[in-house]
A and B are shown apart, each in its own frame.
Chain A
């Protein structure tokens, strides 16, 4: 029995929604980061699903790129958070709002 593509897509959509809600509602920087990772992986899942459906390797290649970007992002982002935490002893994003009017 083959799993139909719609199942993958629905799963990806659910993951994406969870990620979005998490990114918009959490205040902790790390949590938002994790949510974004979930969104990225939802996108990856979609790409993989379509790659299989259309028997094309292009989708799989893009996924590698996304994973590389996500890794780089995590490295830079975590470094930033550590730097911010040293200065302000918090990574609550509601309290890091210096760049405004």
Chain B
């Protein structure tokens, strides 16, 4: 079975190609069959592979398809199924398939139905390449591929003004990170002559002094590479300061937000760092930096989430915040916790996004929570699944988020990083608060939309609610994979993958009671939900927001406008760049370069204008020129 590993991305690619090339001429059921069938096939093959993989004791399986050699550099087109990519493979194919099914219902009225499925399948292909590649180059191909698909899908509604702009923004911001990723890869090639994970990490784990020597800019080699990769991850995984594209990416269709901008693509940065853990462990300074940026992003985005009115924007900032959590874990060296949270987050955030999609579908495209309220009655299934997702993200026992978040907070406390712990705890509280704000504003109280919308309200068809329920089950029970204590499955799974390189000092271990931390986290989350209930519950609806805005108008304005980050970037970066570009366009290109070319042309033209009068048409003049020419030649020859 494992020899069919290559089939997984090939299947989704075939789906993308068939729909992309012929989709516009195919009847809709056929498009659906191809678009949903391809990920289903990929899921089945993946499940078969995973079954055999665990049967074989979870030993890494590498498969080389062909070797690509350029001079002394040899990079294989090869796949690697180890425990890390196995977990990712399951998450991506499983959640991906469910979202494809959901999309068949959600997008059924769209005109670009075939185009949508073609892009979405292509995205799956790129994501699978990203996680299955056995070297950084294949990861990079997938990395760029998911970026491209993200751009295409954000700008799916290309006939509107904002989506193409948002897509462009996502692409450009990602490019900044990609550049750093490339530089990091170059450094690895220069040092190791290869990009293959196993070759590099085996050497590093055997002798960490290989990478702890000074390199450039006063950094060690490990720090330099780790920093470059982290900047790459910042772009892809929306961390400070490159997070601005993710909230705007909500302009795409909602299932896209669920699949790409919540469950899979944005977690690629976390995957990359966990994959590169040997180097990060050898770079404690950069790891700390990762943790600090992660924690800062987590709380920063969480506070913005408090005051957003667009249901998808709330979820978008929540995604940024949860990604910060994952980076916090990865930076602290709790790699299994980072992947754990990645997996549980994929379930509950995909669930929440699809739930919001179901709401938007029922509201006829309305995304503003101020126009909603009381949807519980009309959309009971959406409501209950959404609440399960909210409980999971809030970290309420026994839903999955409780375990994964707890693992991260435990890692912070265990490392003695109490400030990071407090920040994480505060973020957990804020998360619970704004998630339940969105629950209460959307589903409770009285309906605040138009009469027409109220008439139109309907529960989504089974093709949408069944994926919701499956994800809800996942969001509820995914925590079982990482039950705390000695039997922590994930921890054991990743033990070998995250082996500490030899020659590094042992990390200090502070013993803190898991139970106490869990109770504290639970208490904070519970209090926050209770507060949300007090402020937004029952029929209060928007009164809570008004009270907030009335009491702290400055804070509220600041949060509602997302700390004016977009405006600051606009002033500090976009406009100076635009001014510089305008200078190069008008000053250099249009004036200097075009001017030179035009002057040359104009000179020739004027010379022609003047010179043409020598052509008198009188043969005798020509004879005279001829004669003068002969004399001139004569003089020149004699002298």
When the two chains form the complex, which single residue of A20, A93, A99, A101 contacts B620, counting CB atoms closer than 8 Å? A93
Binary contact track A1-28/B, C-beta < 8 Å → 1, others 0: 0000000000000000000100110010
Instruction: Given A24-B623, A24-B624, answer yes or no on A98-B618 (Cβ-Cβ < 8 Å).
Output: no
Give min CB distance, A101 to chain B, whole Å: 4
Report the Cα distance A27→B623, complex, angstroms.
12
Whether A101 and B619, one on each chain, are in contact in the complex, defined by CB atoms closer than 8 angstroms, is no
Interface residues of B in 596-639 (CB under 8 A from A): 612-613, 615-620, 623-624, 627
- Chain A contributes a number of interface residues (CB within 8 A of B) equal to 13
A100 adjacent to chain B (CB < 8 Å): yes
- Chain B contributes a number of interface residues (CB within 8 A of A) equal to 11
Interface residues of A in 48-101 (CB under 8 A from B): 93-94, 96-101
Chain B neighbourhood of A94, CB < 8 A: 618, 620
Chain B neighbourhood of A93, CB < 8 A: 618-620
Whether A100 and B616, one on each chain, are in contact in the complex, defined by CB atoms closer than 8 angstroms, is yes
Whether A101 and B615, one on each chain, are in contact in the complex, defined by CB atoms closer than 8 angstroms, is yes
Interface residues of B in 288-331 (CB under 8 A from A): none
Whether A100 and B615, one on each chain, are in contact in the complex, defined by CB atoms closer than 8 angstroms, is yes
Closest-by-CB residue of A relative to B612 is A101
Report the Cα distance A96→B619, complex, angstroms.
8
Report the Cα distance A27→B621, complex, angstroms.
11
Whether B617 and A99, one on each chain, are in contact in the complex, defined by CB atoms closer than 8 angstroms, is yes
Report the Cα distance A20→B627, complex, angstroms.
8
Whether A101 and B613, one on each chain, are in contact in the complex, defined by CB atoms closer than 8 angstroms, is yes
Whether B616 and A24, one on each chain, are in contact in the complex, defined by CB atoms closer than 8 angstroms, is no
Give min CB distance, A33 to chain B, whole Å: 11
Instruction: Given A93-B620, A94-B620, answer yes or no on A24-B627 (Cβ-Cβ < 8 Å).
Output: yes
Chain A neighbourhood of B627, CB < 8 A: 20, 24
Report the Cα distance A56→B188, complex, angstroms.
83
Give min CB distance, B53 to chain A, whole Å: 86
Closest-by-CB residue of A relative to B614 is A101
Report the Cα distance A94→B623, complex, angstroms.
13
Whether B613 and A24, one on each chain, are in contact in the complex, defined by CB atoms closer than 8 angstroms, is no
Give min CB distance, B399 to chain A, whole Å: 91
Chain A neighbourhood of B617, CB < 8 A: 97-101
Report the Cα distance A98→B619, complex, angstroms.
10
Chain A neighbourhood of B613, CB < 8 A: 101
Chain B neighbourhood of A99, CB < 8 A: 615, 617
Report the Cα distance A98→B616, complex, angstroms.
9
When the two chains form the complex, which single residue of B612, B618, B623 contacts A97, counting CB atoms closer than 8 Å? B618
Chain B neighbourhood of A24, CB < 8 A: 620, 623-624, 627
Give min CB distance, B631 to chain A, whole Å: 10
Give min CB distance, A80 to chain B, whole Å: 11
Report the Cα distance A87→B595, complex, angstroms.
50
Give min CB distance, A61 to chain B, whole Å: 24
Whether A97 and B624, one on each chain, are in contact in the complex, defined by CB atoms closer than 8 angstroms, is no
Report the Cα distance A20→B624, complex, angstroms.
9
Report the Cα distance A32→B616, complex, angstroms.
18
Q: Which of A27, A94, A97 has the largest count of B CB atoms less than 10 A from its CB? A: A97
Closest-by-CB residue of A relative to B620 is A93
Chain B neighbourhood of A23, CB < 8 A: 623
Binary contact track B152-174/A, C-beta < 8 Å → 1, others 0: 00000000000000000000000
Give min CB distance, B105 to chain A, whole Å: 77
Report the Cα distance A97→B623, complex, angstroms.
13
Chain A neighbourhood of B619, CB < 8 A: 93, 96-97
Give min CB distance, A93 to chain B, whole Å: 5
Report the Cα distance A24→B624, complex, angstroms.
6
Chain B neighbourhood of A97, CB < 8 A: 616-619
Whether B616 and A27, one on each chain, are in contact in the complex, defined by CB atoms closer than 8 angstroms, is no
Binary contact track B178-200/A, C-beta < 8 Å → 1, others 0: 00000000000000000000000
Q: Which of B613, B615, B619, B620 has the largest count of A CB atoms less than 10 A from its CB? A: B620
Closest-by-CB residue of B relative to A99 is B617
Chain B neighbourhood of A32, CB < 8 A: 620, 623
Interface residues of A in 29-48 (CB under 8 A from B): 32
Give min CB distance, A25 to chain B, whole Å: 8
Closest-by-CB residue of B relative to A35 is B623
Closest-by-CB residue of A relative to B621 is A97
Closest-by-CB residue of B relative to A100 is B617
Report the Cα distance A93→B618, complex, angstroms.
7
Report the Cα distance A90→B97, complex, angstroms.
95
Interface residues of B in 210-233 (CB under 8 A from A): none
Report the Cα distance A59→B143, complex, angstroms.
84
Closest-by-CB residue of B relative to A97 is B617
Closest-by-CB residue of A relative to B617 is A100
Q: Which of A32, A98, A101 has the largest count of B CB atoms less than 10 A from its CB? A: A101
Report the Cα distance A97→B620, complex, angstroms.
10
Closest-by-CB residue of A relative to B609 is A101
Give min CB distance, B624 to chain A, whole Å: 6
Chain A neighbourhood of B615, CB < 8 A: 99-101
Whether B620 and A27, one on each chain, are in contact in the complex, defined by CB atoms closer than 8 angstroms, is yes
Report the Cα distance A29→B612, complex, angstroms.
25
Give min CB distance, B629 to chain A, whole Å: 13
Report the Cα distance A23→B623, complex, angstroms.
8
Report the Cα distance A32→B621, complex, angstroms.
13
Report the Cα distance A8→B486, complex, angstroms.
125
Give min CB distance, A97 to chain B, whole Å: 4
Give min CB distance, B586 to chain A, whole Å: 38
A–B Cβ pairs within 8 angstroms, 5 of them: A20-B627, A24-B623, A32-B620, A97-B617, A97-B618
* Other A-B pairs beyond A24-B623, A94-B618, 4, CB < 8 Å: A20-B627, A24-B627, A100-B615, A101-B617
Closest 3 pairs between A and B when the two form their complex, measured CB to CB: A100-B617, A97-B617, A101-B612
